[in-house]
Amino acid sequence: MPLYGNIPVSGAKNAALKLMCAALLSDRSIYFENAPNALRDIQSQTDLMQFLGCAIKREGSLMAINASNVENTVAPYDLVRKMRTSILVLGPLLARFGHAKVSLPGGCAIGTRPVDLHIKGLEEMGATITLEEGYINAQAPAEGLQGAKILFPKVSVGATENLMMAATLAKGETVLANAAREPEIIDLGECLIKMGAKISGLGTETIRIEGVSSPLGKAHHEILPDRIEAGTYIIAAGMTGGTVRLENARIEHLSAALGHLSQAGIEVEQDGRDIIVHRDPSRRIKGCDIMTEPYPGFPTDLQAQFMSMLTIAQGAGLVTETIFENRFMHVPELCRMGADITVQGNSAIVRGVEKLKGAEVMATDLRASVALVLAGLVAEGDTIVNRIYHLERGYENIVGKLSNAGAQIERIGGE
Ligand code: EPZ
For 187, other C-beta atoms within 10 Å of its C-beta total 22
Mean residue pLDDT of the chain comes to 96
- Residue 263 Cα to ligand 1 middle (Å): 28
To 5 degrees, how large is the angle CA 356–CA 360–CA 365?
A: 95
Establish if 1 belongs to a structural domain: no
Give one DSSP letter per residue of 344-363, joined into a string.
ETTEEEEE--S--B--EEE-
One domain for residues 166 and 275: no
Q: Residue 39: its pLDDT value, please?
A: 97
One domain for residues 262 and 187: no
* Sign of the dihedral defined by the CA atoms of residues 16, 188, 177, 304, in that order: positive
The residues lining ligand 1, judged by C-beta closer than 6 Å to any ligand atom, are 14, 17, 85, 111, 113-118, 154, 156-159, 300-301, 323-324, 366-367, 394
- Residue 101 Cα to ligand 1 middle (Å): 21
One domain for residues 265 and 389: yes
Given 165, 183, 210, the domain boundary residue is 210
Q: What ligand 1 atom has the least distance to the C-alpha of 112?
A: 27
Establish if 115 belongs to a structural domain: yes
**Strands of 62-66's sheet in order across:** 55-59, 62-66, 29-33, 219-222
pLDDT at 267 over 80: yes
Given 210, 239, 274, the domain boundary residue is 210
**Nearest C-alpha to atom 14 of ligand 1 is from which residue?**
14
- Residue 85 Cα to ligand 1 middle (Å): 9
One domain for residues 100 and 236: no
Q: What ligand 1 atom has the least distance to the C-alpha of 113?
A: 27
One domain for residues 193 and 121: yes
Q: What ligand 1 atom has the least distance to the C-alpha of 83?
A: 15
- Residue 114 Cα to ligand 1 middle (Å): 9
Establish if 413 belongs to a structural domain: no
Q: Residue 17: its pLDDT value, please?
A: 97
pTM greater than 0.95 (yes/no):
yes
**Nearest C-alpha to atom 20 of ligand 1 is from which residue?**
113
Q: Residue 385: its pLDDT value, please?
A: 96
**Nearest C-alpha to atom 21 of ligand 1 is from which residue?**
301
Establish if 221 belongs to a structural domain: no
Q: What is the pLDDT of residues 102-156, one digit of tens each?
A: 999 866 677 778 899 999 999 999 999 999 999 999 999 999 999 999 999 999 9
One domain for residues 178 and 248: no
One domain for residues 306 and 265: yes
Average pLDDT over residues 359-383: 96
Average pLDDT over residues 93-101: 98
pLDDT at 326 over 90: no
Range of the domain at 164: 7-210
Q: Residue 325: its pLDDT value, please?
A: 86
Given 210, 235, 252, the domain boundary residue is 210
**Nearest C-alpha to atom 30 of ligand 1 is from which residue?**
114
Total of domains in the chain: 2
Establish if 279 belongs to a structural domain: yes
The residues annotated as belonging to the active site are 108
Q: Residue 106: its pLDDT value, please?
A: 66
One domain for residues 153 and 281: no
Please tell me the distance from the alpha carbon of residue 163 to that of residue 174, in angstroms, as a whole number.
Answer: 9
Establish if 181 belongs to a structural domain: yes
Q: Residue 82: its pLDDT value, please?
A: 84
pLDDT at 364 over 90: no
Q: Residue 74: its pLDDT value, please?
A: 97
Give percent of the chain above pLDDT 70: 98
- Residue 83 Cα to ligand 1 middle (Å): 12
Average pLDDT over residues 388-411: 96
Q: What is the pLDDT of residues 21-78, one digit of tens each?
A: 999 999 999 999 999 999 999 999 999 999 999 999 999 999 999 999 999 999 999 9
One domain for residues 185 and 277: no
**Nearest C-alpha to atom 5 of ligand 1 is from which residue?**
301
Q: What ligand 1 atom has the least distance to the C-alpha of 325?
A: 34
Establish if 306 belongs to a structural domain: yes
Average pLDDT over residues 286-311: 98
Average pLDDT over residues 305-331: 96
One domain for residues 273 and 348: yes
Establish if 414 belongs to a structural domain: no
One domain for residues 265 and 116: no
One domain for residues 64 and 28: yes
Chain length of the chain: 415
CATH code, domain carrying 246 = 3.65.10.10
- Residue 156 Cα to ligand 1 middle (Å): 6
Q: What ligand 1 atom has the least distance to the C-alpha of 228?
A: 29
